[in-house]
Amino acid sequence: MAGKSLYPWHKEDETGPAVWYAGQMEPQIGSFSSYVYFLFCPVLLYRDRYPRKQRNFRKAFGHLVEFLMTNLIGYTLFKDFLLPQSMLLDDLVTSLLRCLFLGCVQLHLAHTCVVHGWMNMSAELTGFADHNFYQDWWNSQCLGEYLGKWNPVIQEWLKTYFYAYLKNWVPRAVALLAILVLSAAEHDFLIGTGMGFYIPMYLVEYGLIGFLLSFKPPLGKQTDRLIMCVGLSLGTGIQMAIYLTELVARSQCGEASSSWFEGMWAFECYRRVNN
């Protein structure tokens, strides 16, 4: 995504990496040091200059501790509390209920780990002064507001390089769906790469269900916030339960496969174990 920001798409933007001036046929390229800094600072939109401050290694170390501790807590919860012990029905139900109960906890852990801990640590190490990496996403009343507040860095990148152009060619609803599908597919790819198998959970939860819910009429601030809170907690819990069940199924039902898109093993493994 950082490389995408180096393309001169905005001819009217005089702060980008390749600035187009009247009468010129070639873009004006920024300095090499600006590109190097852009690759390491926690931002995806290139600018020749960013707000800078003095590096604070003490704060960077504190955010590193936050990053490592949330990783450790999350790993411990997954391994010792949420992971099914077997593919028996009782163990699967217990794991599902625990995942649903702790969905909100895991959501906050993931956000604290990546968006708060890692990005603030990067900002302190590089002297990047703009720490607007997230807002009060827990008060969101709709999916669009939640996604914008969860990680404004990625949302601004998607808005600048995709949504701003799509909305000129297709209806707004189609452009919104395309952005949701792109973001969901990226998350599914990253998780699938780490887990070793692909399940389109984000595509279903955000690209399909989230897109349909975005057209829900407002029911009042408190009601909409409650619906978002419950939906995010349950969605995260269901997502964790499916991933963990598939992980156990592949570890207990034998045959290793090199195919990334071979489908879920959980159903076949459950049938073998419980028959």
Average pLDDT for residues 227-237, to the nearest whole number? 85
Which of 78-82, 115-119, 131-135, 144-148 tops mean pLDDT?
Answer: 115-119
Nearest one of 39, 224, 260, 254 to 143, comparing CA atoms? 224
Q: What angle do CA 90, 94, 95 make, to 5 degrees?
A: 120
Is a pLDDT exceeding 50 seen at residue 6? Answer: no
Residue 136 CA from chain centroid, whole number: 16
Residue 153 burial (CB count, 10 A) = 17
Average pLDDT over residues 27-32: 58
The 3-state DSSP class for residue 238 equals: helix
Q: Which residue has the higher pLDDT, 6 or 77?
A: 77
Q: Give residue 154's pLDDT.
A: 85
Six-digit token pair at 191?
A: 């998780």
Q: How far apart are CA 208 and CA 206, in angstroms?
A: 6
Which residues contact residue 216 at a Cβ distance below 8 angstroms, ignoring those fewer than 6 apart? 142
For residue 10, name the pLDDT band (cuts at 50, 70, 90): very low
d(CA 186, CA 170): 22
Give the per-residue pLDDT at 17.
38
Mean pLDDT of 71-95: 86
User: Stretch 9-28: mean pLDDT, rounded?
Assistant: 41
Which pLDDT value is given to residue 23? 39
* Average predicted confidence (pLDDT) for the chain: 78
d(CA 103, CA 193): 22
Percent share of the chain, pLDDT over 90? 11
Instruction: Kindly indicate the confidence band of residue 58, based on its pLDDT and cuts at 50, 70 and 90.
Output: very high
- pLDDT tier, 121 (very low <50, low <70, confident <90, very high otherwise): very high
What pLDDT does 7 receive? 44
Report whether pLDDT(14) > 50: no
* 89-111 average pLDDT score: 87
Give the pLDDT of residue 30: 59
Average pLDDT over residues 101-126: 89
Average pLDDT over residues 157-177: 82
Across 100-104, 178-182, 191-195, 210-214, least confident range: 210-214
- The answer to whether 26 touches 15, Cβ cutoff 8 Å, is no
Highest mean pLDDT of the ranges 8-12, 108-112, 175-179, 248-252: 108-112
Q: What percent of the chain has pLDDT over 70?
A: 83
Mean pLDDT of 207-236: 80
Res 127 pLDDT > 80: yes
The DSSP bridge partners found for residue 28 are: 19
